[in-house]
Structure 1
Amino acid sequence: MKSAHPYPVVALRSIPPLAALQAFERAATQLSFRRAARDLALSPSAISHQIRGLEAQFGVKLFVRGARSVRLTAEGERYLEQVSAALTALDGAGRELMTRRRADRHELWVSSLPFFTSTVLLPALPDFHRRHPDLTLRIEATHQYADFNSSGVDVAIRYGREQATGLKFEPLVEVNALPVCAPSVIKAGLRTPADLSRHVLIHLISQPQSWPRWLGEMGLADLQPRGHLWLDTVPAALEAAEHGLGVTLAMAPLIRRRPGFGSKLIAPFKVQAGFREKLYLVSRPEQARDRRISALRRWIVDAVRAGGQ
């Protein structure tokens, strides 16, 4: 008698927990329990426990364990091939569901640098709503690199082309590092770049080479400032500078769109470093014909141009 159920019934006794499969796949790919633990934010002992559970369930050895290394057995190699294919299929199915959900709900996810978000995207939001009242934006302001493979990000705005495999990068705007500080810092004696030796330099944790690079461009590679202050976001660094805590580097020309620039925050020098960086609009090549993504892209490009960049 033919079953009325549209899908085949799957026996689950031979399917281990997903956590165990992920631990095995990472350890087998890396040939290291330690690196697998790092990738999955677990301890090496947790990885080892998951894999021993798999070996006990199937009654086979998946790894040959040495004093400082591990290698796959023949059974482990065959299982890795099948597990990798299965995890890839599950990942693809999940991302397809997320894409369909956002398309059905007319939702778009933008991952943007915090400073770009506050100076370019947020002021332009009324224009986006006028153009596309049926679309909802989800804007994530973060310095973390957008993982297009494991998240639902549609478009990202980022520095440079790191981790660019398989992604489309479109240049948005060129920026260069511009020292900025409160007027009180200038009054305290900041007229030339060499005067920075008497002041505190405010650094961004994610860009530790910015100040050394700028000072090198000025011929001041050996300059020793009065102190250092390290902060985790551009807005925090700019606020610290506004409060007179030191001098920080801002993105010119975008900094000129920050409220209070020219009064609470001033560029003390007329000189500028010669090196320039680019901000890119990042997306998946396969989304090039998605009308929602095209509309989002046009809006972001127009928002940059509207600011006179």
Structure 2
Amino acid sequence: MNEIHLSDSPLRTIPPLAALLAFERAATQLSFRRAARDLSLSPSAISHQIRGLEQQFGVKLFIRGTRAVRLTAEGERYLAKVSAALATLEEASRDMTRQRRDGSGELWISSLPFFTSAVLLPALPEFRRRNPALTLRIEATHQYADFNASRVDVAIRYGREHSAGLKFEPLVEVKGMAVCAPAVARSGLRHPADLAGQVLIHLTTQPRAWPAWLREAGLPQLVPRGHLWLDSVPAMLEAAEQGLGVALAMAPLIRSRAGFGKKLVAPFDFTPARGETIYLVTRSEQARDRRIAVARRWIIEAVGTAS
């Protein structure tokens, strides 16, 4: 009678890919929090994955401190081998993706939701007129695009997250502009200090936007009448148009929104001295890709029109 020993199978010793990715990110960043940000997970999920690896191997991979973590000797050795293995998998995946893209008549864009509605969609008819054979697929999201694990060709994002192999081109600097319905503006909203009598509309993905704006306005201690939290820019602007409070919009792009100046107005001129830059992000290796060149020209022209 033949006996099968499952422990003899090499696959039994390979941990889940999610655990390896969590370990690699945490070991590279020496931070569970930053690893969680990179992988769009919670720090507790990262900790759980790494604890599973330590239990599987019977060794400690990290020395955990109150404010930081560092690798053990075993963790250092494991990181070197895991990094090499993940790099091999990444290159294999890139080769497959590159083969698909080379013969594709599609272009995948990952864009900030408001940028999509204010800049890309109004310019879409012109893109179709110029490029009838190229199909656009646009994903409106605040998540950072994963160029290694997704089909994204072009991303439009705030800030320059460090990532090897990516090219960042500045598109436009945006600043927070307070906007509201005309009736709210007429109710006595003439200066930033008057926001004390208003409801501030917040975007859940940008909880520090209003506090930073108020600090720039010299009003760090201002207490508004209330707060309203919404999970998307369209919903936030719609709430402002309905007179539910005052929102922060991206200037100058907000001026291209349909109804700006009628349904939605800027009650005062103040904008912060410092803004944030929106970048066009592509793979460095695609510098000569015709589809990318076409998209770059179109997006730059669309930003010029919207600004």
TM-score over 0.5 for the pair? yes
For residues 46 and 27 of structure 1, do their structure 2 counterparts lie closer, same or farther at Cα, with a shift above 3 Å needed? Answer: closer
Counterpart for residue 299 of structure 2: 300
Cα distance, 1:261 vs. partner?
Answer: 1.0
Report sequence identity in percent.
Answer: 57
Q: For 1:266 and 1:280, locate their aligned partners in 2 and report how far apart those are by CA, in whole Å.
A: 27
The amino acid that maps onto 1:23 is: A
Counterpart for residue 149 of structure 1: 148
Question: Where do 1:157-306 residues align within 5 Å?
Answer: 157-306=156-305
The amino acid that maps onto 2:223 is: Q
For residues 48 and 279 of structure 1, do their structure 2 counterparts lie closer, same or farther at Cα, with a shift above 3 Å needed? Answer: closer
Q: Does the CA-based 8 Å contact 1:20-1:51 persist in structure 2?
A: no
Question: Where do 1:108-119 residues align within 5 Å?
Answer: 108-119=107-118
Secondary structure of residue in 2 paired with 1:96: helix
Q: For 1:65 and 1:122, locate their aligned partners in 2 and report how far apart those are by CA, in whole Å.
A: 48
Aligned-residue CA RMSD (Å): 3.2
The question of 1:128 aligning with 2:124 is answered: no
Counterpart for residue 104 of structure 1: 103
Counterpart for residue 9 of structure 1: none
Q: Does the CA-based 8 Å contact 2:181-2:263 persist in structure 1?
A: yes
Q: Does the CA-based 8 Å contact 2:198-2:245 persist in structure 1?
A: yes
Cα distance, 1:165 vs. partner?
Answer: 4.6
Cα distance, 1:66 vs. partner?
Answer: 9.5
The amino acid that maps onto 2:185 is: I
For residues 183 and 125 of structure 1, do their structure 2 counterparts lie closer, same or farther at Cα, with a shift above 3 Å needed? Answer: same
The amino acid that maps onto 1:282 is: V
Question: Where do 1:8-27 residues align within 5 Å?
Answer: 13-16=9-12, 19-20=15-16, 23=19, 26-27=22-23
Q: For 1:125 and 1:18, locate their aligned partners in 2 and report how far apart those are by CA, in whole Å.
A: 47
For residues 189 and 67 of structure 1, do their structure 2 counterparts lie closer, same or farther at Cα, with a shift above 3 Å needed? Answer: closer
For residues 214 and 81 of structure 1, do their structure 2 counterparts lie closer, same or farther at Cα, with a shift above 3 Å needed? Answer: closer
Secondary structure of residue in 1 paired with 2:10: coil
Q: Does the CA-based 8 Å contact 2:216-2:272 persist in structure 1?
A: yes
Cα distance, 1:222 vs. partner?
Answer: 1.9
Q: Does the CA-based 8 Å contact 1:159-1:280 persist in structure 2?
A: yes
Cα distance, 1:144 vs. partner?
Answer: 1.1
TM-score (norm 2): 0.80
Q: Does the CA-based 8 Å contact 2:192-2:268 persist in structure 1?
A: yes
Q: For 1:214 and 1:44, locate their aligned partners in 2 and report how far apart those are by CA, in whole Å.
A: 34
Counterpart for residue 5 of structure 2: none
Q: Which stretches in structure 1 are left out of the alignment for 5+ residues?
A: 1-11, 56-60
Residue by residue, what CA displacement relative to the aligned partner does 1:107-138 show, whole Å, maximum 9, x if unpaired? 21111110010011111111111222221111
The size of the alignment, in residue pairs, is 287
Q: For 2:164 and 2:132, locate their aligned partners in 1 and report how far apart those are by CA, in whole Å.
A: 34
Greater C-alpha radius of gyration: 1
The amino acid that maps onto 1:262 is: G
Q: Does the CA-based 8 Å contact 1:24-1:51 persist in structure 2?
A: no
The amino acid that maps onto 2:133 is: D
Q: For 2:273 and 2:114, locate their aligned partners in 1 and report how far apart those are by CA, in whole Å.
A: 22
Q: For 1:279 and 1:25, locate their aligned partners in 2 and report how far apart those are by CA, in whole Å.
A: 28
For residues 217 and 51 of structure 1, do their structure 2 counterparts lie closer, same or farther at Cα, with a shift above 3 Å needed? Answer: closer
Q: For 1:295 and 1:107, locate their aligned partners in 2 and report how far apart those are by CA, in whole Å.
A: 12
For residues 220 and 131 of structure 1, do their structure 2 counterparts lie closer, same or farther at Cα, with a shift above 3 Å needed? Answer: same
Secondary structure of residue in 2 paired with 1:186: helix
Secondary structure of residue in 1 paired with 2:200: strand
